[in-house]
Amino acid sequence: MTCKLSLATLEQAAQTAAVPAYARERLKAGILHFGVGNFHRAHQAIYLHELFNRGKDLDWAILGAGVMASDQKMKEKLAAQDFLTTVVEQDNNVSKATVTGPMVGILTAPDFDQIIAAMADPAIRIVSMTITEGGYFIDPATGHFDPTHPAIVADSQNPASPKTVFGLIIAGLKARRDAGIAPFTVMCCDNIPGNGEVTEATVTGLAKLSDPDFAHWIHENVAFPNSMVDRITPATGDREVTMTREVYGIEDNWPVFCEEFKQWVMEDKFPLGRPALEEVGVTFVPDVAPYELMKLRILNGGHAAIAYPAALMDIHFVHEAMENPLIRAFLAKLTHDEIIPVVPPVPNTSLQDYAALIESRFSNPKIGDTIPRLAQDGSNRQPKFILPSTADRLAKGLDIKGLALVSALWCRYFEGKSDSRQDIVFNDASAERLQATALASRTDPNIFLGLSDIFGKVGESQFFRKRFAEALASLREVGTAQTLQRYLDGTLGG
């Protein structure tokens, strides 16, 4: 017998899942969070849920917010179940469900004035976000704020009626300043190097376009802590909804599946206070950068490395890619030979052990993570996860056969057909441009590397161009599997 998830059915849900030990009516919102998708509900929300279960900091509940039209659908689905979420942790040896309840509501477009008013409330002391790597209006090649983006231009011309996350944050901060209320902390939870600094650059960059003095005030008065977040969380589909109903007897409109592992490393910069997250496993450090770089290069870079060969070989699930001996060996050689040597030391951490942990996490057959999810949004992910390692090795005069092969695989992927001639479905804002350029590169590989907003200076390197052309020629001549074998054998390129 199943139950429709709600506060009224928690007693029944408790027969198969852990349920909140705290009374929801005791919660008060202290955090407004933009982007209440799967990762947020499997990560930040879980840490707060565990803290609330200890009876601590119940005035730090989450008020969700969204600016996209699609966020309204999320709001409707979660509101129908009292903003509860079933989080299913899937490890090799453990599967367990937890009904979480740290979210007390969601505000969405077109109610932008309501979102601003919520941020002006003194009770809101942190505004956080998971809006994906591509949501920060940053030129991927330079890493600098792009003031010419149409959404930014629109907000700069209408600062009193913003539509972007950053325009809303500026309006919320201005309302607080005008009312004599101390500014909230802005906490980024996306996979971006120096994510707090990037967020500040976007917020102040947008503010400067209409009010330079206020931009300076933000720089002087608002905290933007850097953080590193980690938990593999696939998208929710019919599979996850069905498993939640059939295995746990819970009908959840939008359950979240994730791995058991989670990590959060953060700078302790919260002028108005924060929840006692260190009590539930969050690590506070003076400098997040070493942890962040390790994760972005090894885990996120590893995801990017296996996504495209797997897609070209018609592999759907990540664990199935890791079961393929060529892909598994490719990831291991690339990681140990090319990526780890340019990752700086991390306090009290073995990079080799971390790489072994990542390999184990990728191999988890229960989580159901998919290759299409890893392959999406490469125009934002390649410049953050792969090309920095390439640039570091080029600067040191080191070879980049494997990293160039990753870029060549990405180019070959955007030709739109797998090795068996199956159609590839893209999920990238730049897909049309990428495919046109990938197809044009059949006559000249450098055409693809001419995407300067993605490849930047790396694309101008003659040595990188040589390695890229060698790898791409091999992929077109003998296919993905044989090209991977050539890389493993040391016979790829000159």
The CA–CA distances, whole Å, from 367 to 2, 261, 481 equal 23, 11, 25
The Cα-based distances of 294 to 149, 224, 230, 297, 458 in angstroms read 31, 21, 11, 5, 21
The whole-number pLDDT of residue 136 equals 94
Residue 94 belongs to some domain of the structure: yes
DSSP state string for 449-480: HT-HHHHGGGGG-HHHHHHHHHHHHHHHHHHH
The answer on 378 and 349 residing in a single domain is: yes
The backbone torsions φ and ψ at residue 400, rounded to the nearest 5 degrees and listed phi first, read -140, 40
Q: Is residue 494 part of a domain?
A: no
The last residue of one of the domains, among 220, 250, 284, is: 284
Give this prediction's pTM. 0.90
Q: Which residue has the tokens 């999406």?
A: 376
Are the C-beta atoms of 233 and 42 separated by less than 8 Å?
A: yes
Same domain (yes/no): 138, 48: yes
**Does 384 lie in the same domain as 314?**
yes
> The tokens of 221 are what?
């008065």
Is 136 in contact with 192 (CB distance < 8 Å)? yes
Residues 309 and 417: beta-carbon distance below 8 Å: no
Same domain, 228 and 300: no
pLDDT along the chain (494 residues), means of 10: 95 97 97 97 98 98 95 96 97 89 97 97 98 87 85 96 97 98 98 93 97 98 97 94 97 96 97 98 96 96 98 98 98 98 95 97 92 94 95 98 98 98 95 97 97 94 98 98 98 90
* 98 lies in the same domain as 246: yes
Question: How many residues would you count in the chain?
Answer: 494
Q: Is residue 382 part of a domain?
A: yes
192 and 302 in a single domain? The answer is: no
Instruction: Kindly state whether residues 388 and 470 are assigned to the same domain.
Output: yes
Kindly state whether residues 273 and 363 are assigned to the same domain.
Answer: no
CATH number, domain of 20, equals 3.40.50.720
CATH code (residue 357): 1.10.1040.10
The range of the structural domain enclosing residue 213 comes to 3-284
Do 302 and 277 fall within a single domain?
Answer: no
Q: Domain check: are 394 and 460 in the same one?
A: yes
C-alpha distances out from residue 465 to 80, 199, 304, 481, Å: 53, 33, 20, 22
CA-angle at 414, arms to 408 and 415, nearest 5°: 95
SS3 149: coil
Q: What is the pLDDT of residue 141?
A: 65
Determine the residue type at 16.
T
Q: Indicate the residue among 284, 308, 332 that finishes a domain.
A: 284
Predicted confidence at residue 413, as pLDDT, reads 98
Domain boundary residue among 251, 284, 317? Answer: 284
In Å, what is the CA distance from 394 to each residue of 39, 140, 159, 181, 464?
A: 34, 19, 43, 49, 8
| The dihedral sign for the CA sequence 46, 47, 48, 52 | positive
Residues 220 and 339 in one domain: no
Place of tokens 């590839």: 424
Task: Report the half-sphere exposure of 169 (CA within 13 A, side-chain side).
Answer: 34
Angle between helices 378-385 and 401-413 (to 10 degrees): 180
Q: Considering the domain boundaries, does residue 448 fall inside one?
A: yes
Residues near 316 by beta carbon (within 8 Å), at least 6 away in sequence: 370, 371, 372
Task: Identify whether residues 274 and 296 lie together within a single domain.
Answer: no
Q: Is the dihedral of CA 280, 281, 284, 289 positive or negative?
A: negative
Whole-number Å distance between alpha carbons of 306 and 290: 24
Query: For the chain, what is the domain count?
Result: 2
Q: Is 298 among the domain residues?
A: yes
The answer to whether position 463 is within a domain reads yes
Question: Are the C-beta atoms of 231 and 250 separated by less than 8 Å?
Answer: no
